[in-house]
Chains A and B, each alone.
Chain A
Amino acid sequence: MSQAALIFWVTLSIVIIVYYSFKARKTALNLREIPGIKAVEEAVGRATEQGKPILFTTGWGGDIQRPTTIAALNLLRFVAAKAASYGCRIIFPTHDPVIAETAREIIRSAYNQAGRIDDYRDEDITFVSPSQFGYAAAVDGIVSRTNPGAMFLMGTFEGEALILAETGNISGALQISGTDSTIQLSFFIIACDYTLIGEELYSASAYLTEDNKVKASMYAQDIIRLLLLVVILSACLLALFGLDIHEEIL
């Protein structure tokens, strides 16, 4: 397993680097549209027009080491930049103090770059509680009191997912969610206006950036996916003929 995983990592690295070296700098890369990502700007604009704040939270299920949280914070940077340029207030409650400090830096930096540091409110980026339902109750309370125009539920969510999404739905906020929790995805799809399913959350920053290097990694990801598909189909075909080699190659 370790050897197979190593080969997978090395192959992906090589594909990313090779693709980036030969293509990314020379050609303009286009990615297919994802409605949830396209709606990010609309959500911020809508909240600004209504004079309401934006609420962004990364869920209770993940800490800063989780790729989903990193992907959510990558997206936060774009949301914060847009909110800062529009002069819209952004609220970020979280269950993890490390995430709170990272988000504080990202949001402060976004307001600073937009030349609106005076609009930045340090008290809006808060660590609320490490307890799952303490966090859910705190976020619900914030939603009920501040009545946000847009809500971003991005990250790893567990049992609190539907509590937050339904509260947001009742408050009338435009909700964009994204998670890697397959169980919570169904709740988000029902309760939110847009949902980024699994890997769409990871690719959100690539869609929103103008940087070709980041976009190139999406292309590389697709190449790896194709390779994986070929390997899975080959293993299935070989298994039909009595050759069970899937444990060795996957």
Chain B
Amino acid sequence: MTINRVAIIIAFVTGIFMLVQYFIDAVVVNNLYKTLLDYYQIIFAITMIVGGLTLLRVHLRKLVRFDRHSIFSLATVTAILFMVISSIIFGTGTNSPYQWAFNNIQAPMQATTFSLLAFFVASAAYRGFRVRSKPAAVLAIAALIVLLGRSIFGEMISEHLPSLAGWVLNNPSVAAKRGILVGIGLGSVATALRVILGIERSYL
């Protein structure tokens, strides 16, 4: 029996069990389900260590090679080592160096990256609303209605604009979303079944 066949059998047995357990309320089944989830958490924790070590190894190699991007690797390696060593020595309590670094370095950097979104939304909207075709015109008109209807200017222009914006959001927009969601649901089920039944073997 090849290793691939073993993988297919494991995928089939586990998949069928996870599917069936949803409909069965029995102590044995529930316990087995919780045990399987625990195993996933254990695997995740181990791969997190592997992932961290791989990241460290990759950046140490880049540091050794030394090129113009090595400064980024130096920052990454320093940050990883600082957070790991300081949390081992001083813990992760309120006044620990770990918490200080998290609150004063990591959180502001994350907020900075998030704030980029505002500029990217503006540049993407500018490209998206250029009217080059009939569908683009429909998009631009719908966007204009919603934009004005949801702002204070909408009511100033016409008292019907806010309700028109609401209609666009609650009818054509929701109808399209629901159509996509039904397709996504079917696609999810079909993908899961393809893997469980061994039809889809791309993961091997």
Contact = CB atoms under 8 A, between A and B. Distances in A.
Interface of A: 2, 5-6, 8-9, 12-13, 16-17, 20, 65, 67-68, 70-71, 73-74, 77-78, 97-98, 100-102, 106, 123, 126-128, 130-134, 136-137, 140-141, 145, 159, 162-163, 165-166, 180, 182, 185, 187, 189-191, 197-199, 201-203, 205, 209, 211, 213-214, 217-218, 220-221, 224-225, 228
B194 A2 contact: no
A137 B109 CA distance: 9
A123 B117 contact: no
Contacts, number: 163
B200 A74 contact: yes
Contacts of B58: 123, 126
A145 B189 CA distance: 39
B72 A141 contact: yes
B195 interface: yes
A211 B63 CA distance: 45
Interface in B136-195: 177, 180-184, 186-195
Contacts of B124: 162, 165-166, 187, 190-191
B185 to A, nearest CB: 9
B190 A97 contact: no
B133 interface: no
Contacts of A136: 113
Contacts of A185: 180
Contacts of B123: 166
Contact of A13 (B40, B113, B193): B193
B180 A197 contact: yes
Contact of A198 (B57, B120, B128, B187): B187
Contacts of B106: 131, 134
B5 interface: no
A102 B43 CA distance: 12
A159 to B, nearest CB: 7
9 contacts: A13-B193, A70-B191, A145-B72, A162-B120, A163-B116, A189-B128, A202-B188, A213-B199, A214-B200
B54 interface: yes
